[in-house]
Structure 1
């Protein structure tokens, strides 16, 4: 039986006010000031007034009291005004239980400037506010008081549903801005001796708007002290020398060397644009250097040379070079019309490994990888093999590790030759120096991801295991995997020192209801926190609880799932619910945040059910193999059956108010489910596939992905699969209101896939909406675009599952003719 995880359950919440219209009682408002010691000018005066006020708001929202040029000021109840002169700040904590619109009126203050959650709304006495379901903070900065008017803040909702609650509480529900803007680690690199950590972070702040703040720091790991910092011209492709004395990296079109002891930087080579993949090789550096393809600017047409010509980068050519540190001389090591992709190098043998990908469609998945070894002394290339499910390779002392699919080497990694397998289910192999290859993970159900080799040839292995991404140690001598205790569900970044005895590790990641943390840990020790996003960005945030919910389907398969409950859950209420499932073939990981913010949906009053239907990797080869040549057959059964079991178990969910959504393959599943069931009251398909044939023939990777998902099946030899499993050909069966979302620059699933379904449902007079996001690719990654995308999604479900059309109508008002 699985255990129940409860997070942030303590809540000090007392509703102390409630209003649709009228003046806000001053007992709900806090005041700081008047402040007279900072400047002789009002806040609204001066060349940099806006920037100064924005900085002030950031500081004031983070502190209960503040020392300003030697004088201490505290937030106090604003039950009276002051006869002192100077600038003043007011703040009002508010809460909404739905999308809320109205006007905030401020009187009695000179030059008021209104901020919502730290961002300027407007400098005016009256401002219009639109508030998502959640907890918010209104702050007003002003030069001082007006002599002829009494201070007051009033709210006027657009209608009786636009109500504010004025709350006194210790915590707030999680917000979209927290989930996207908070500082997170984006890269980690540990020196071989384990003394130094190169760490990159990304965050957003109100004052920088849509531009991310990206910083890279060199840290002494022992005391977590920063000894060097980059913000402009940050290092890329950073790599440590074997003795940990020097860090090589690319910056400003140069290869630079940082001496760790003196912190002096030396330029080793310059005028090197499009250089990446640095690796030390004795006293030299190996790297990849790409020459971008330059099209004929006068050409009016483009002749396709291969299916890969859909890829904007395919005609670029990348080769491997070597930089001699002492002289600065660079020489080219590979030269071919096909790019040579650097994989690994062996300093002792003076060799390196690289791959090439010639055009070859002979077998699924219609791509070929050639593995070569290069003798750096003689520049002799030796072909090690040609493979179709190859992912990566690492040298070891007496051979090499290879990561590939189960079919590698004629099915060497398959657990059962009589079952279908999923080529995306990563496996680990060993190739000895005589060329003999053996499978190392055939009896290991987790899907192998990245590998890091230690000096003793053991591996640190990131895997997908169910809906988690743990880290394992692979003991080469015992040929055994051992899970490491990382204190997190999803390990996203990892670095390892390569000392032979008990090496140091650093890793970062999240859990389903725990924001990002980073740890350092001896291989045989316990994790110690070195970065904690929870303390920095979520200290006063409350979340709902999460619990595991599995069920056994009609075929006897265990279907893994989890359920998120609203932050202020009340078992006596009836809640709407959202159901989500995997896209592609990877399970839905237990990330704290990401493109699909389950904690945010729960904070906005939804019960969220996430399940892992048949076809997902990380549950064994038989389970993931049911993805192949199925296109929804098994997955749809699991989702429908799982939703029914979920509704039976959770009687506080209203069965008439359940929505579903998915993206990419999950978007396809959403459209396909709409042709198979009416169990859902509303659906959202993001970047979904409606016509298997058109995606197969037009998507950037359509033919390659279909070579796995539809292995051996084509429109001419299995038309039933391509027609019967395409939602487009069953559009007349759809009765569920359907929202189609697509980036109009999507290179994976062309935007036409949503247009096909939109056209069909419009002609059939079905309820359908199509929203395109301008200049967005398969993933909606832009800062402001992400918020608009999240808003669109939840507004759609508020419309259909909560009978609250206001948010949707605000985002997409009807055009009057």
Structure 2
């Protein structure tokens, strides 16, 4: 992939200030300065001039005025000529409604430097610009005004369509850079007494590229003040002592202890690597120590020991150790060829709850988990059970909680023995002190994702509930689930303090059109203390489109959940193109504000976006999620087609001839499968999709295991109809929809060959297909510039096919050269 011009989105164009080829009216341009180089910096001199300019631009972009060494300079209209010498800054707002190309010409300035939304484009008097649909701020720095040439900024569009609007806007549409770069909370860890919070954040800056700025802070919850800060050597596996007096963590190949009283740090163990998962056990620590497998560098072959050997980490061996903090002595607790992982501890009983996974393919999902109790005093192990759908366990008074699928222990968690269930739909169980296991969530439709203890026996439960991810309080005595009023749609991180009669929790989360916020609250009250607000920090001047719920009842009588994102400056009298997005696999598409699929960005670029949750998704009850099993598109495709038809009927402002669809992974499979079933879509995009069920089952990293749930009991030799007829590859001749295939060339989950199979088939069939590979990218396109390139490629494809605008696509991939004259 080539590097693209940075893309921002913005407000709708106003009629005034429009230009294809003309001098920009100076009433749209603001000037700051001249600033004497004697009292400030010389912009083009010295070894650090680039850094000085970049820092200055960051300040100029954020402030209406600057105090520079005691002198105040403010932005003003550039209608008059400067009356003294010194460096100058000019800024002009720019808005587009489509991909726009042209040249900005600067006259009358010495050594002009052109910045687009704070990033240097070029140092020249003529600067080419490629602008996607959006809002921008152009800023020009110059050493001074030329004596005999009047200042002007001129725009020359490449084509008649390449017009710009220079009218100032107070709020802008959301941009790709905002969605990726904005600071967000990545983890929260609350002390047991609820007084202190360990908070980690991540953000990006253009100058640092793919290198994230990651910071961890120890905060005092009462006033949200920072007590301690890490950046270069951040703590990992951080855990609080039960009395909240110490924080243990791993950093710099050490196990360190931060003493809260005086913020001093003690080194418990030095020069130790591959340590993780610290866990307090009285006055000692339990930890996981991994011995990485080292392959023979001279070996020319590898003999597989199991299917799991395709996983690069599978031969690593992790075992548990106990660290005596007084002496610094480490004691090994477990050993053997299988890695051991800690789930929980019960110090009063001298026991640890651990798990191992022996190789066992005998039954679906072709994996096995052992649940083991380890006596710390004598290292005796007791096998509690071996399970196929095990998800985790925690001790509680007189027993333990277990998370597992509905098929756990011969279907103990099934609501209805006659239906097929999806074991990715997590359930909660109780195992008492005598070993009797009973279901707790059989009639609770949300899927259980994670549990945290509150007090000695109650739980905080993170769930998937439709397209929301809320948290519930589980009262064991009453066996009741109560939703906690967090005020956000999707909980990203949560931590609970158990000390006292009123348990405290902190959490971070987003809503569909609200950026991340973090709060503190007690379980007994809905009052919240705001701890973090990404909206105020990164989106204060950002305008978003509205969102509406849109559900419909399918032909089987099932309610199909959905939501619709409307463009910014939505006009119901217009006809808009639309994008339909789904996963179609075992998880719903959550109401995240941002992520790999930027629905708000697509809406900002002029699309109506319809997101729906077809049959097979968890969080809607066992019957609903069970339709994922042995279906591979059978129910989901019908729901997507029927849902799109209902969506078009209910939304007159959407052009039914300009509707595109897309999905990734299983959703990429759904996109290809849909193309064999319908021509309702004008263009499609499949990212990392599965075209051949047999090849994914046998070659994908998790193919056989995932298929052990999604195709439970079915194999290529006993269900040829499923593996062949439901594979898009074997029905490629039925495809008429133009199809874009996107894939990372280092994808281990869904190997890139899955897109190559379909590309080859459609090319030989003479169908319209494009294949774009992303170099060194795995299943998810995660790195910063690659993410922008991926987003740009996706929307450029739909601009080409749904808006009749090939210019952006042709600029990205000029060899494709779609005919602009026909658009």
Whether these two folds match at TM > 0.5 is: yes
Q: 2:155 & 2:146 partners in 1: Cα distance?
A: 20
Q: How big is each residue's C-alpha offset from its partner over 1:40-62, in whole Å with a ceiling of 9 and x where there is no partner? A: 65211112111111111111111
Q: 1:173 & 1:669 partners in 2: Cα distance?
A: 31
Task: Note the 1:403-422 alignment, pairs <5 A.
Answer: 403-422=403-422
Q: 2:115 & 2:38 partners in 1: Cα distance?
A: 21
Is the 1:255–1:268 Cα contact (8 Å) retained in structure 2?
A: yes
Task: Note the 1:635-646 alignment, pairs <5 A.
Answer: 635-646=636-647
Please say if 1:359 is aligned against 2:359.
Answer: yes
| 2:214 corresponds to | 214
Q: CA deviation at 1:169?
A: 2.1
| 2:118 corresponds to | 118
Unpaired segments ≥5 residues, structure 1: 1-10
Instruction: Give SS of 1:169's match.
Output: coil
Q: 1:285 & 1:81 partners in 2: Cα distance?
A: 71
Q: 1:349 & 1:69 partners in 2: Cα distance?
A: 67
Is the 2:353–2:373 Cα contact (8 Å) retained in structure 1?
A: yes
| 2:659 corresponds to | 658
Q: 1:401 & 1:32 partners in 2: Cα distance?
A: 65
Is the 1:340–1:356 Cα contact (8 Å) retained in structure 2?
A: yes
Is the 1:493–1:508 Cα contact (8 Å) retained in structure 2?
A: yes
Instruction: Give SS of 2:237's match.
Output: strand
Instruction: Give SS of 2:732's match.
Output: helix
| 2:772 corresponds to | 771
Task: Note the 1:99-138 alignment, pairs <5 A.
Answer: 99-138=99-138
Is the 2:87–2:144 Cα contact (8 Å) retained in structure 1?
A: yes
Please say if 1:307 is aligned against 2:307.
Answer: yes
Aligned pair in 2 of structure 1 residues 122, 12: CA closer, same or farther (>3 Å)? closer
| 1:623 corresponds to | 624
Is the 1:394–1:400 Cα contact (8 Å) retained in structure 2?
A: yes
Instruction: Give SS of 2:16's match.
Output: strand
Unpaired segments ≥5 residues, structure 2: 1-10, 818-823
Q: 1:434 & 1:318 partners in 2: Cα distance?
A: 31
Please say if 1:668 is aligned against 2:669.
Answer: yes
Q: 1:595 & 1:34 partners in 2: Cα distance?
A: 44
Instruction: Give SS of 2:166's match.
Output: strand
Task: Note the 1:241-320 alignment, pairs <5 A.
Answer: 241-320=241-320
Q: 1:36 & 1:522 partners in 2: Cα distance?
A: 56
Which shifted more, 218-227 or 13-22? 13-22
| 1:333 corresponds to | 333
Is the 1:94–1:138 Cα contact (8 Å) retained in structure 2?
A: yes
| 1:543 corresponds to | 544
Q: 1:442 & 1:500 partners in 2: Cα distance?
A: 31
Is the 1:15–1:168 Cα contact (8 Å) retained in structure 2?
A: no
Which shifted more, 14-23 or 237-246? 14-23
| 1:169 corresponds to | 169
Q: 2:377 & 2:30 partners in 1: Cα distance?
A: 74
Q: 2:94 & 2:587 partners in 1: Cα distance?
A: 40
Aligned pair in 2 of structure 1 residues 14, 729: CA closer, same or farther (>3 Å)? closer
Is the 2:584–2:617 Cα contact (8 Å) retained in structure 1?
A: no
| 2:72 corresponds to | 72
Is the 1:38–1:69 Cα contact (8 Å) retained in structure 2?
A: no
| 2:468 corresponds to | 468
Q: How big is each residue's C-alpha offset from its partner over 1:592-614, in whole Å with a ceiling of 9 and x where there is no partner? A: 00000000000000000000000
Q: 1:346 & 1:58 partners in 2: Cα distance?
A: 53
Q: How big is each residue's C-alpha offset from its partner over 1:500-539, in whole Å with a ceiling of 9 and x where there is no partner? A: 4111110001000000000010111212211000000101
Is the 2:810–2:816 Cα contact (8 Å) retained in structure 1?
A: no
How many residue pairs were aligned? 807
| 2:648 corresponds to | 647
Q: 1:339 & 1:573 partners in 2: Cα distance?
A: 60
Q: How big is each residue's C-alpha offset from its partner over 1:250-295, in whole Å with a ceiling of 9 and x where there is no partner? A: 0011100001111111110012211100000011110101000011
Q: CA deviation at 1:112?
A: 0.9
Is the 1:12–1:169 Cα contact (8 Å) retained in structure 2?
A: no
Instruction: Give SS of 2:62's match.
Output: coil
Q: CA deviation at 1:14?
A: 5.0
Which shifted more, 35-44 or 229-238? 35-44
Q: CA deviation at 1:208?
A: 2.0
| 1:684 corresponds to | 685
Please say if 1:611 is aligned against 2:612.
Answer: yes
| 2:559 corresponds to | 558
Q: TM-score, normalising length from structure 2?
A: 0.97
Is the 1:487–1:527 Cα contact (8 Å) retained in structure 2?
A: no
Q: 1:207 & 1:52 partners in 2: Cα distance?
A: 13
Please say if 1:792 is aligned against 2:793.
Answer: yes
Instruction: Give SS of 1:793's match.
Output: helix
Is the 1:37–1:68 Cα contact (8 Å) retained in structure 2?
A: no
| 2:708 corresponds to | 707
Q: 1:737 & 1:802 partners in 2: Cα distance?
A: 14
Q: CA deviation at 1:583?
A: 5.1
